[in-house]
């Protein structure tokens, strides 16, 4: 018998989950190294479907981080209260602290994470935002806590000519501190503000891999649109968000334990549906660092 060729080592099964985006991928075991051909194949599947669901991945944090490295450099998050003390590349999307104790809903971490209940794309407030993220369902909720994703290529394509004209060549401001004005959170200190100054990002971006145009907004961080009054800026962001939330563009993921979801932050937004804060929800995220500034389309 001849040895299997590199390309045939992993047999992937891909099942589309929604007409707009999302695919379930079977045939991957994240605890094992990935051969180069499979890594390339996954990258292509990811670019095609935007959000991949890998069921049944009983991974340690270290294995999760190692798998992330096939797609780029894992980010170490700037806030100590969010990142894991054990594995620094892990961003804890969790209402349970690392000693296993449930946090009260008014805990600053729970408050900050609750803003993920509004549409956003991760780290758009950085000059170089992240490429994507991988989220591992360690303890999943049953009272809600579903994660929704919207396809921002399709959203852009669906905009009226009038809206396209309003955003073409325009930038929106993305401010990490803006998020803190919306929850019951302490405003950023002057030092924190200086470390994370607001950035202006194009509202229509060109995806560096696919070359396609996508709407690029992140409503929890957007506090201004170039050349518009605060009221008009807010109205425009609200209107664009309403279109992005149309069910025809949205896949909703109901979590099972040990699902790992991988999404592209350059062409999607996401949000989590509300859940009972007395229910434990422990999700571990790695974040793939971006390499370049956002390209205007």
Q: Which residues bind to Mn ion, rule: CB under 5 A?
A: 122
Q: Does 18 bind ligand OGA (CB under 6 A)?
A: no
The one among 20, 30, 203, 272 contacting ligand OGA by CB under 6 A:
272
Q: Which does 284 bind (CB under 5 to 8 A by kind): ligand OGA, Mn ion, none?
A: none
Q: Which is nearer to ligand OGA, 95 or 201 (CB)?
A: 95
Q: Which does 50 bind (CB under 5 to 8 A by kind): Mn ion, ligand OGA, none?
A: none
The one among 285, 290, 294, 297 contacting ligand OGA by CB under 6 A:
285
CA distances from 131 to 50, 80, 278 (A): 11, 21, 32
Residue matched to tokens 């145009």: 213
Q: Does 94 bind ligand OGA (CB under 6 A)?
A: no
Q: Does 283 bind ligand OGA (CB under 6 A)?
A: yes
Q: Does 93 bind ligand OGA (CB under 6 A)?
A: yes
Q: Which is nearer to Mn ion, 14 or 116 (CB)?
A: 116
Rounded Cα distance, 202 and 170, in Å: 6
CA angle 137, 112, 83 (to 5 degrees): 55
Q: Which is nearer to ligand OGA, 154 or 283 (CB)?
A: 283
Query: Residue 252 in contact with residue 51, Cβ under 8 Å?
Result: no
Q: Does 270 bind ligand OGA (CB under 6 A)?
A: yes
Minimum distance from residue 228 beta carbon to ligand OGA (Å): 27
Q: Does 237 bind ligand OGA (CB under 6 A)?
A: no
Minimum distance from residue 164 beta carbon to Mn ion (Å): 26
Rounded Cα distance, 111 and 93, in Å: 11
Minimum distance from residue 45 beta carbon to ligand OGA (Å): 21
Q: Is the dihedral of CA 178, 184, 152, 57 positive or negative?
A: positive
* Helix, strand, coil percentages in the chain from 3-state DSSP, rounded to 5: 25, 25, 50
147's enclosing H/E stretch is strand 147-151
Q: Does 174 bind ligand OGA (CB under 6 A)?
A: no
Residue 256 neighbours by CB distance under 10 Å: 11
Minimum distance from residue 215 beta carbon to ligand OGA (Å): 18
Name which of 213, 234, 15, 241 is nearest 148 in CA terms: 241
Query: Residue 120 in contact with residue 268, Cβ under 8 Å?
Result: no
Rounded Cα distance, 93 and 272, in Å: 11
The one among 38, 57, 95, 147 contacting ligand OGA by CB under 6 A:
147
Q: Which does 135 bind (CB under 5 to 8 A by kind): Mn ion, ligand OGA, none?
A: ligand OGA
Minimum distance from residue 135 beta carbon to ligand OGA (Å): 5
Residue matched to tokens 């981080």: 65
Largest pairwise CA distance in the chain: 71
Minimum distance from residue 98 beta carbon to Mn ion (Å): 20
Q: Which is nearer to ligand OGA, 25 or 135 (CB)?
A: 135
Rounded Cα distance, 130 and 204, in Å: 17
The residues of the shown chain that bind ligand OGA, judged by CB under 6 A, are 93, 116, 122, 133, 135, 147, 270, 272, 283, 285
């Amino acid at each position: 018998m001849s040895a299997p060729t590199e390309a045939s080592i992993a047999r992937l099964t891909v099942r589309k989950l929604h007409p707009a985006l999302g695919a379930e991928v079977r045939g991957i075991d994240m605890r094992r190294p990935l051969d180069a051909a499979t890594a390339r194949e996954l990258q292509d599947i990811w670019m095609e479907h935007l959000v991949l669901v890998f069921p049944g991945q009983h991974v340690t944090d270290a294995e999760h981080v190692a798998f992330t490295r096939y797609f780029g450099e894992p980010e170490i998050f700037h806030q100590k209260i969010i990142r894991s003390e054990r594995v620094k590349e892990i961003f804890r999307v969790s209402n349970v602290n690392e000693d296993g104790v449930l946090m009260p809903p008014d805990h600053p971490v729970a408050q900050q994470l609750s803003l993920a209940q509004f549409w956003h794309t991760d780290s758009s407030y950085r000059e170089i935002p992240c490429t994507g993220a991988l989220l591992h369902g360690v303890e999943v909720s049953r009272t809600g806590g579903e994660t929704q994703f919207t396809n921002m290529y399709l959203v852009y394509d669906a905009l009226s000519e009038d809206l396209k004209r309003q955003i073409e060549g325009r930038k929106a401001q993305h401010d990490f501190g803006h998020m803190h004005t919306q929850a019951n959170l302490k405003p950023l200190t002057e030092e924190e503000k200086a470390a994370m100054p607001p950035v202006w990002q194009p509202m229509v971006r060109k995806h560096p891999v696919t070359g396609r145009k996508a709407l690029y907004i992140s409503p929890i961080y957007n506090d201004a649109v170039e050349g518009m009054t605060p009221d008009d800026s807010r109205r425009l962001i609200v209107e664009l968000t309403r279109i992005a939330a149309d069910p025809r563009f949205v896949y909703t993921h109901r979590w099972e334990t040990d699902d790992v979801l991988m999404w592209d932050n350059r062409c999607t937004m996401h949000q989590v549906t509300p859940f009972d804060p007395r229910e434990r929800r422990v999700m571990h995220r790695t974040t793939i660092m971006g390499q370049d500034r956002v390209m205007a389309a």
